A and B are shown apart, each in its own frame.
Chain A
Amino acid sequence: MTIFLLNIGFGLVTASVLSLLSVGLSLQFGVTNFVNFAYGSYLGVGMMLAYTFSQTLHFPFWAAAALGTIFTGVVSMVIAEGVLEPFVRRRKSLFYMLIVTFGLSLVLDNLLQIFYGVDFFQYPVAQSSPVTIGPFSFTTAQLEIIAIAVVAMIGVHLLLSRTRLGKAMRAMSDNMDLARSSGIDTKNVTRWTWFLSGCLAGLGGIVLALNIVSFQTNSGETLLFVIFAAVILGGIGQTYGAMLGALVIGMVTEISTSFISSAYKQDIAFIVLVLMLLLRPQGLIPAKGKA
């Protein structure tokens, strides 16, 4: 029973990491209406940039993480402006957009490996002994991860519900043509969506690296389909659905380790994905016209 409760605690941490990542992917999908298969590589960009800022340039870690997050957003925006949007403007079909982002993931992954190699890295943060809170046990880093995720989720909620940009994003996600004819600068909103999506991917990558302690450039790559599982579970393109999906997937994968080897916990995410697609492909909170 204690192990079960402990795993619920770890589930919270995984759910926190996943919530950042799935919200980032879902926001971008809602606005642009195609899946970004290079998203996994953005995680690598974030974690490696934070590593460079903290280890090589000797920034304090919180500043390095912040810079890594923002620069990943910039990278995402530049890639969208330079590569993806021109394809969209040429009205390439969905087929081709998916292949382009898929090709982009290969390019980015290998560029990262050229710069950083295949070694394992570690952030220069002290490893503390676990803190016990009730039945749970967390490291300081894990508590920080949960706090970061909660703050970020509240931030995303405020952005979507209170700001002009957030409302414009929701409008575009609902009906692109109506949003455009209502006078929303769709180009600009798309640009900021890519930036935000990149920021969340970068931040998610950094907290993922903090959680697994030692990481490689491609550590985020295998997580990609777990993110997809969370996004599809919640309803693709639905931001709040993505948060819910992340919570469910995070909990289910970690709790499953009480019963089966932890080597198979990602397979559990796959099973959830398959069940969802078979039984309720529109997700828990369906979005119109996206499935």
Chain B
Amino acid sequence: MSLILGYVATLLVTFFTYNIFVIGLNIQFGYAGILNFTVITFMAFGAYFYAVFVMPHANNASQVFYILGLHWPWPLAMLAGVVASGALGYLVGLIALKRLRSDYLAIVTLATGTLVYGLFGNNNKLFDGWSGLFNVNQPFQSVATNHPNEFSWIFVVFSGVVMLVVWLFANRLYASPLGRSMRAIREDQDVVDSFGRNSFKVRMLAMVIGSVIVGIGGVLTIQYIGALSPAGWTTGETFVVWAALLVGGRANNLGAIVGSLLVAVVFNEATRYIPQVPSHPNLIPNLRNVIIGGLVILSIWFRPQGVLPEKKASFLEVPLVDKYAQGFPGDEPENALSPAASEA
């Protein structure tokens, strides 16, 4: 029984953290149309910086090397991790969010991901190289002493509360003037510019807010697991987040929840128990990645708006028809005349 309870707790924490990743990406891609092809690097940034701020100074005798080691209390370290992730988002935005085609931004994010991955992996003085950090101080350890599951369930509540806050914030942002500007830029940047909005600033805000939220998810991940190595944040992980967002429905936070439940929890857990093929130990993980990649492509082909599409804005006086309808450029034309729009 206690085994099952522990497993359920882990599932819930996975669900909550992926939800936070997907919401972070949703603000970048779903709201503002920013293609971030290395979501997982921001997660790693948050996690690693949390770790080096919360852990005591590196003990050279143990052959584990990392920078800083400030031994801060965990809430402060959490803040440091989140700030680090946001700062990375800011830097990437500075390079690529000028008036350039979205190809360039995608290239810069991908290049940043490859670069950071190689840098953190090959340099064992930064974050202990390929072996990664472990024995990272976890919060609530002083109170959760009675039972191994106690920590897990305290953490379920903690991550659940964090997720709820993030979710409420994201929804609030969606409806706010800033969120409207973001969505307007996604549809047509020139129009937004001509109305006098600083579209660079708005897109930069979306980039940084998204990175901060992904960083929060990263901090939660390392707090729960207590360890992270480069093997835990490969390109495949970025796809899990993308697949979750596209399956669930971009620009709709409820869709983000459905997507992370379907992809990150149900699909990942269902494939976890397929027995390994002894001669090909990588066969199952490889197949899983093939399916995730295929899922991304197929969902764009069959249902680009996702399981739960973005709610169309409704105006009382003027029904939305044809070219005035909101939607990603290139969506199906019939999408513009979907029931939600014509009922309005």
Which residues of A line the B interface, CB within 8 A?
34-35, 37, 83, 86-87, 90-96, 98-100, 102-107, 109-111, 113-114, 117-118, 222, 224-225, 228-229, 232, 236, 263, 266-267, 270, 273-274, 277-278, 281, 290-291
Contact = CB atoms under 8 A, between A and B. Distances in A.
Given A225-B111, A277-B96, A94 B101 contact: yes
Contacts of B280: 114, 117
Contacts of A274: 95, 108
Contact of A110 (B102, B106, B289): B289
DSSP class of A's interface residues: helix, strand, loop or mixed?
A: helix
A5 B67 CA distance: 37
Given A95-B35, A113-B282, A114-B283, A281 B242 contact: no
Given A96-B328, A106-B293, A232-B107, 18 more contacts: A35-B107, A90-B330, A94-B101, A95-B328, A103-B297, A110-B290, A113-B286, A117-B282, A222-B114, A222-B118, A225-B115, A266-B114, A266-B115, A266-B118, A273-B107, A277-B95, A277-B100, A281-B98
B37 interface: yes
Interface string B95-134: 1101011111011101110110011001000000000000
Given A37-B110, A225-B107, A270-B115, A106 B292 contact: yes
Given A107-B293, A110-B286, A87 B300 contact: yes
Contacts of B69: none
A99 B246 contact: yes
Interface residues of B, number: 48
A225 B104 CA distance: 11
Contacts of A100: 296-297, 300
Nearest to A102: B37
A83 B301 CA distance: 10
A114 B287 contact: yes
DSSP class of B's interface residues: helix, strand, loop or mixed?
A: helix
6 tightest A-B contacts by CB? A93-B330, A106-B293, A225-B111, A103-B296, A107-B293, A110-B289
B290 A107 contact: yes
Residue of B107, B242, B289, B292 ringed by the most chain A CB atoms within 10 A: B107
B182 to A, nearest CB: 14
Contacts, number: 138
Contact of A94 (B103, B235, B282, B283): B103
Interface of B: 29, 33, 35, 37, 95-96, 98, 100-104, 106-108, 110-112, 114-115, 118-119, 122, 235-236, 239, 242, 246, 280, 282-283, 286-287, 289-290, 292-294, 296-297, 300-301, 304, 328-332
A94 B293 contact: no
Contacts of A113: 282, 286
Contacts of B236: 106, 110
A99 B104 contact: no
A291 B100 contact: yes
A96 B110 contact: no
B290 A99 contact: no
20 contacts: A34-B103, A92-B300, A93-B328, A94-B103, A96-B328, A96-B330, A102-B242, A105-B293, A106-B290, A106-B293, A107-B289, A110-B236, A113-B282, A113-B286, A117-B282, A224-B110, A224-B114, A225-B114, A229-B111, A232-B107
Given A106-B239, A110-B293, A274-B95, A95 B115 contact: no
Contact of A103 (B106, B282, B293): B293
Contacts of A83: 297
Nearest to B117: A222
Contacts of A92: 300, 304, 330
A236 B37 CA distance: 20
A87 B304 CA distance: 12
B69 to A, nearest CB: 24
A232 B105 CA distance: 12
A96 B303 CA distance: 12
